[in-house]
Chains A and B, each alone.
Chain A
Amino acid sequence: MSKTDMIITEDALNRLDQHWAILALGNKQVARALDVAAVRIMRSAVGRQMTIDFDETVTDKETVERAAMAYELAAIEGLDALLHPSDDVSRVQLRAQAQAGAFRAYSLRRTLRIPEMPEDRIFHVLHLAALAYCGDQWADLRRWLKDYEREVRPPSVADVSWDHRVLRRLYECWLRLLRKQGWDDLDGISEIIAGLRKDQEQYENTVLDKSDNAAAQAEALRLIALYHWAKATELLAVYILQGQPVGIEAELDKHFEAGQQAASAAQDAAFEVILRWLHVTSRRMVAGSLWKVAQAVNSRVTRF
């Protein structure tokens, strides 16, 4: 089995329940959150065909959110091990912790309401998608995206500032990467990003011309983070379509890390965090791509 294969074992889930964050929350709270989420998923699957005898209380929303947060903290601890796999025993355990934590956090967060405000919605969906990829739930995510097609639709770019325009267009690109509706859908990503490069000259200065120098500099850094994210997205889409460049991992690392650094310097915590998650997601997409699978098969055949 390769170092990057994803299998969430019962053992990993049991170990996860001994993590300090889960213990701090308490068994009762965790059990209630998992029950609530399971019933919500069941209800959305069976609709009105079956009545499930389970009443939610006013505190359940918060209980689910807190449990998802505890599992996410456990996942965050192991993200680096997931990004840079090794055979070291402690790193293998951390990787399993990250996968199991992301799996649990995803199964809880997918039952939460999708925010209505466009930017909140974008961050919510991307965050959920990242948890799904890290927790080996990408197939379930595709179904979720289909079920909520209308709610997750990209917001309009008309009359929004340049930074929001870039953010919304990149969100559209990522929806294409996540829903995997065919080659044409993926092919459109490069066009969207080329379009942004063309629009830059026309719109960029409108957000950078500010009287407050500190605010202008923060905006510039935020744009730099967005440009790195755009480049990484473009490279990822081309790789998924064509299997090139061969050293895609290093390219993704370079752009996501530079993007995180710029978002951090802009003191935009939420943006930096989403870039960290998407970095790992992009690497999971590459690892699970046809090209990597073919590469692994070919290497075995050569050895044979």
Chain B
Amino acid sequence: MTMAAGTEVYNADAGPVIARGVSYTDAELDVALRSSVSHILWDDAGTAALETILTSVVTTDFSDQSVKRVLSNRATPENWRVGEALAEAFLVEHRSCKFPWPSSRDLKNPSASPAGTDLVGFQGKNTPEKSYRFAFGEVKTSEQEEWPPSVMDGRHGLKKQLEDLRDSTKVKDSLVKYLGHHADRADWLPHYQSAAARYLSDPADVSLLGVIVRDVEPKPEDLARPAKDLAAGCPDTTSIELRAMYLPRKTINSLSERAVRARGGDYVKN
């Protein structure tokens, strides 16, 4: 394990919702960036696929000039992407989660896909039959000196995203089917079948994970109210966990640079 669990600095649990704040030292962050995060962030398979996709455009008889210009721009990953990778590494190494695809495949599509979450995968349950259920995760990164930060609220805020996942099957159904299309011959096929059977039997039987990555003074106000709101009306079989990961102060704006340095790569600044 190379992603530390962090040191708990507060507990803001509300009813069934677990809400904890944890802090990280600079040394812990450094180790994570060099190992766990690096594996998630630098998706070499995804980059190779991009080259193939690009060369195929000419066969459609549409012009490839503009898309080529945009896709040839090799830029550093944004700081928020590094934050997302930190959250994913924590969930994989400390919450028995398995995500079939890296959360930070070179890109994110903020507008085109209404049916999406930052992370989608499986979580192992500590039951004798070793069953799995679906895990849906949302991650936000914020250096704002407000508690909670604005990314927690609003139409696209973390709280609303988790409420939608808690209350509606629309996004979950779409992602369960999407995973189904990729499950054939995948090493996670048994996980999928176990989770899908549980989901069909009870659509509330899922794990929802919300993580905010911060570099300000840790305060329970970041999670207390969202936890309370999410606890109200939370079905018995849904588990919700909120986690605030507090990095050393003023480190978010250099996360990308540090990740590139840790990789020893040749990416240019965006």
The chain A residue with its CB closest to the CB of B120 is A269
Q: Name the B residues within 8 Å of A262 (CB-CB).
A: 53
**Which chain B positions have C-beta within 8 A of A271?**
112-113
Within 8 A of B (CB), among A44-99: 62, 65-66, 69-70, 72-73, 76-77, 79-80
Majority SS at the chain B contact face? helix
Interface size class of A (residues with CB under 8 A): 35 or more
A258 neighbours in B (Cβ, 8 Å): 53, 56, 59
Total number of A-B contacts with CB less than 8 angstroms? 161
Residue of B53, B62, B66 touching A265 (CB-CB under 8 A): B53
CB of B115 to closest CB in A, whole Å: 5
Asked if A224 and B59 make an inter-chain contact with CB atoms under 8 angstroms apart, the answer reads no
Which B residues, 81 to 104, have Cβ-Cβ distances below 8 Å to chain A?
Answer: 81
Residues of A near B75 (CB, < 8 A) are 213-214
Q: How large is the interface on B (under 10, 10 to 19, 20 to 34, 35 or more residues)?
A: 35 or more
Give Cα A254 to B75, complex, Å: 30
Is residue A172 within 8 Å, beta carbon to beta carbon, of the partner chain? no
Q: Give 1 or 0 for each of B197-217: 1 = CB within 8 Å of chain A CB.
A: 110110100000000000000
Q: Which residues of A contact B (CB under 8 A)?
A: 20-21, 23-26, 62, 65-66, 69-70, 72-73, 76-77, 79-80, 119, 163, 196-197, 200-201, 204-205, 208, 213-224, 227-228, 230-231, 254-255, 258, 261-262, 265-273, 276
* 8 closest Cβ pairs, A-B complex: A218-B109, A24-B197, A227-B60, A231-B60, A24-B200, A220-B67, A269-B178, A227-B62
Give 19 pairs: A residue, B residue, CB < 8 Å, sorted on A: A69-B200, A79-B181, A197-B61, A197-B62, A200-B62, A218-B110, A220-B70, A221-B67, A222-B109, A223-B67, A224-B54, A224-B56, A227-B57, A258-B56, A265-B46, A265-B53, A267-B105, A269-B174, A272-B178
Residues of B at the A interface (CB closer than 8 Å) are: 46, 49-50, 52-54, 56-57, 59-63, 66-67, 69-71, 73, 75, 78, 81, 105-116, 169, 173-178, 180-181, 183-184, 193, 196-198, 200-201, 203, 270
